[in-house]
Amino acid sequence: MDNTAPAILELGLVLLAAVGAGWVARRLSLPAVVGYLVVGLAVSPFTPGYIADRDRLQLLADLGVVLLLFEVGIEVDPIRLRRDHAHLILAAPFQVLLSTAISAGVFVALGVATIPAAVLGLCVALSSSVVIANMTRSVRRTTDPQTEAALLGWGILQDLTGVTLAAILLSAVGGNDRGLFLTILGLIAFGAIALAVAWILPRVLRAVANTPDFFLIVSVASGFALAGAGSVVFGVPLALAAFVGGLAIAESPESAEARKRLLPFRDLLAVLFFVAIGTLVDPAALSRGLGWLALFVVLIVLAKGVPSYVLVRLTGVCSRPLQTAVGLGQIGEFSFVLASALVAAGSLADEIYAALLTALALSIGLSSVLVRVAGKRPVEEGQPEIPTASKSPEVSTAIESGR
């Protein structure tokens, strides 16, 4: 038992340090996630001082990202999305494809191989659904209800589009050894399994609804088991499998209660997820990749932000165009997963990886602050301010982006 004491102590100290850094970040009007990333950098093997056990943090971070994306998938309601946000169904997927194509073309022109360039382009094209959700729930938000709904729907449709593209691209780049045909077949087979679980799980949850501990265990275990089965048996990347699994069970009343129960665990492990990202940033590699960092920031603005702004205006999406574009102007958990898969396949240079991780941190911080500024409008005398949506009681405390 004593052999595990140092590990327990380390995790406790890392979490406490993350809380402190998150508090400081919020005092500076930055999202808490920036503080978590700084803590990860401070305890990484690339900086002087204490070095945390990165493998241990990574395991817990993997659990966190699985619950994170499983819960995001549960939150998706495709029927309501089609009914309430029909314009987004065309705009958001087109933005992902356009942003991916533009960014991939730039990377190819700079000497990156075609398939890795396409994956990096997809990294730029996707935003963080979790960060977007917390933007719309922050007590400092300036978004109106229409813009909040557009941001949330846009982020969800980005994820749906990105799942399919990512599975195909990762198989082509060597992210798994199954080949393109078997990867697509595996994705279809996993989708069928997820639909079967979508029929079974609500009934199981209904049967144990009066036993809170069983309900919680079944909810958490289902997320882990679905994600693990998708990755081990069907070759679907772990995080993508978690999202698809959550999406499949999203429409039952029991799944909404399951999501509510998962939030505290997701929040705790998500802290370690962002700390683990910080431990991966190599300052030496970043110093060689400053040009790549600048390129990522430029592409986030020009290849994603500008098309998003134009599409909002052209397609009739009911939201503030500038605020919507700024709110989408970050990269997040899916982008990290995709870039890590490129590293595992030996297809991404260290300096580009370090630049992307740094761009992740910068873009989250900047978009979370600037989205509030983009939404401020002078109120004419005698006119009421645009109301904002009521604050959800399920606000995430661990990865709040603008609180």
Segment 361-378, tens digit of pLDDT: 889 888 988 988 876 654
Q: How far apart are CA 364 and CA 401, in angstroms?
A: 8
Taking phi first (over 0 means left), then psi (-120 to 50 degrees means alpha), and beta for anything else, what does residue 21 get?
Answer: alpha
Question: What are the distances in angstroms from CA 172 to CA 53, 100, 285?
Answer: 33, 16, 26
DSSP code for 304:
I
List strand residue ranges (DSSP E) for 221-345, in order: none
pLDDT at residue 289, as a whole number: 92
DSSP code for 387:
P
Cβ contact 14:50 at 8 Å: no
Cβ contact 57:276 at 8 Å: yes
Q: Specify the residue for token string 């289902």.
A: 222
Q: How many CB atoms lie within 10 A of CB 182?
A: 15
Cβ contact 273:280 at 8 Å: no
pLDDT at residue 287, as a whole number: 92
Cβ contact 277:34 at 8 Å: no
Model confidence at 77: pLDDT above 70: no
Report residue 195 as tokens.
């639909």
DSSP code for 139:
T
Which domains occur in the chain, in start order? 53-125+144-268+284-364 (1.20.1530.20)
pLDDT at residue 389, as a whole number: 39
Q: How far apart are CA 278 and CA 354, in angstroms?
A: 10
pLDDT per residue over 271-286, tens digit each?
A: 888 888 888 888 889 9
Q: Specify the residue for token string 């006119």.
A: 383
Q: How far apart are CA 40 and CA 55, in angstroms?
A: 13
Report residue 320 as tokens.
């503030």
Identify which has the larger pLDDT, 304 or 179: 304
Output the CA angle 223-246-97, nearest 5 degrees: 130
Q: How far apart are CA 67 and CA 238, in angstroms?
A: 11
pLDDT at residue 82, as a whole number: 62
pLDDT averaged over every residue in the chain? 80
Model confidence at 87: pLDDT above 90: no
Q: How many CB atoms lie within 10 A of CB 379?
A: 10
pLDDT at residue 198, as a whole number: 76
By the 10 Å C-beta count (0-12 exposed, 13-18 middle, 19+ buried), 169 is classed as buried
Q: Specify the residue for token string 């397609």.
A: 315
Start-to-end CA distance of the chain, whole Å, equals: 40
Q: Which residues contact 224 (CB under 8 A, 6 or more apart)?
A: 63, 66
By the 10 Å C-beta count (0-12 exposed, 13-18 middle, 19+ buried), 135 is classed as buried
Q: How far apart are CA 229 and CA 233, in angstroms?
A: 5
